[in-house]
Amino acid sequence: MLKNLSKNAKQYQRHLQSTISIRKTRFDAQYTERHYTHATLISHFLTALSITFPQGERFFVETVRNVRDQIENPRLQADISGFIGQEAHHAQAHEQFNQAVQSPHYNLMHYNAAFEKEMKRLRTLTQRRQLAATVALEHFTALMAGYMLKYPEFMFKGLSPNMKQLWLWHAIEEIEHKHVAFEVYQTIFNHLPQRRRSMRTITIGFISSTTFMTADLLWQDRKNSLYSPQQLFKNIKALYGLGLMMLRLSPEYFAFYRADFHPEQLDQQELLEQGRQLLNPS
Ligand SMILES: [Fe+2]
Ligand SMILES: [Fe+2]
């Protein structure tokens, strides 16, 4: 009887435990450089994503917290804690990165006011719409993260060990918590038309803003990125690579619109293991 009780307690404990671990990154912002990848276009692209992270990821956390008290499943509650911890660290690390790379001739901060305005507008929406926006954006971050881990030679070529601690670390954790916002949304709202609508709106906003900011950073850095024939050649190849990435990711992107979609349908455990090995080689 006692043995059974302790077995049940252990099973319950396992049920409560989240698979999401919160790590502290070893990324150090003081060793940040403007160009940290093989082709400068990829640096500008990643930096454009980084601009959105501090405010964006804090918003994700808020939208999940808004409805957290309605979640009864202890496992999902534990995952929410993991999700909040991971995103809080990401926002902080990217804020440090953005400040370190910022200069009068490479201005990232001029986007902050526009983002603040957009976040303010999003916060006026219903909790369902706010969370649906998070779910859609989390799908995008998981898509990007999966691609980074699957094709590290494209996205991470030339990355220093320090910069790996930022980008690889973030990519791994995005995949680890990719199901959390989605499951919270399904548990509380389970509203398919809203999920699809938000994804359509977010797609337009995400692609246009990322393209615009990447092009702007590229232009600000034109002396290194466009006027150097060697870099120009690498960047043309990288542009083709980004196009190929969109093409390769399209089946995973469109899967989101399916009624029976769940982020865990795409098993990325092997990819995660490879990523962890790359981050902390034993
Ligand atoms: Fe994140
Ligand atoms: Fe995330």
How far does residue 34's CA lie from ligand 2's centre (Å)?
24
User: Is 29 domain-assigned?
Assistant: no
Would you give the distance in Å from CA 43 to the centre of its chain?
16
User: Is 27 domain-assigned?
Assistant: no
User: Is 20 domain-assigned?
Assistant: no
Q: Which position has the token pair 């916060």?
A: 123
User: Is 95 domain-assigned?
Assistant: yes
Task: Give pLDDT, residue 17.
Answer: 67
Taking the CA of 60 as reference, the closest ligand is 2
Taking the CA of 25 as reference, the closest ligand is 1
Task: Give pLDDT, residue 214.
Answer: 97
User: Is 128 domain-assigned?
Assistant: yes
Task: Give pLDDT, residue 16.
Answer: 56
The token pair at 234 is 């690498």
How far does residue 234's CA lie from ligand 2's centre (Å)?
30
| pLDDT string in tens for the chain (282-residue length) | 444 545 554 444 445 567 788 888 889 999 898 999 999 999 999 999 999 999 999 999 999 999 999 999 999 999 999 999 999 999 999 999 999 999 999 999 999 888 899 999 999 999 999 999 999 999 999 999 999 999 988 988 888 889 989 999 999 999 999 999 999 999 999 999 999 999 999 999 999 999 999 999 999 999 999 999 999 999 999 999 999 999 999 999 999 999 999 999 999 999 999 999 988 876
**Domain range holding 174?**
37-279
Task: Give pLDDT, residue 278.
Answer: 86
CATH of the domain at 138: 1.10.620
* Those residues with Cβ within 8 angstroms of residue 17's Cβ, 6 or more apart along the chain or in another chain: 75, 78
User: Is 244 domain-assigned?
Assistant: yes
Taking the CA of 181 as reference, the closest ligand is 2
Instruction: Tell which residue, 7, 34, 32, 18, has the closest CA to residue 161.
Output: 32
User: Is 83 domain-assigned?
Assistant: yes
Alpha helices of 66-151 — where are they, by DSSP H? Answer: 74-101, 112-123, 127-150
Task: Give pLDDT, residue 25.
Answer: 87
Q: Which position has the token pair 């405010």?
A: 55
> How many structural domains is the chain composed of?
1
How far does residue 176's CA lie from ligand 2's centre (Å)?
9
Task: Give pLDDT, residue 270.
Answer: 94
Task: Give pLDDT, residue 280.
Answer: 82
User: Is 60 domain-assigned?
Assistant: yes
How far does residue 134's CA lie from ligand 2's centre (Å)?
9
Task: Give pLDDT, residue 12.
Answer: 47
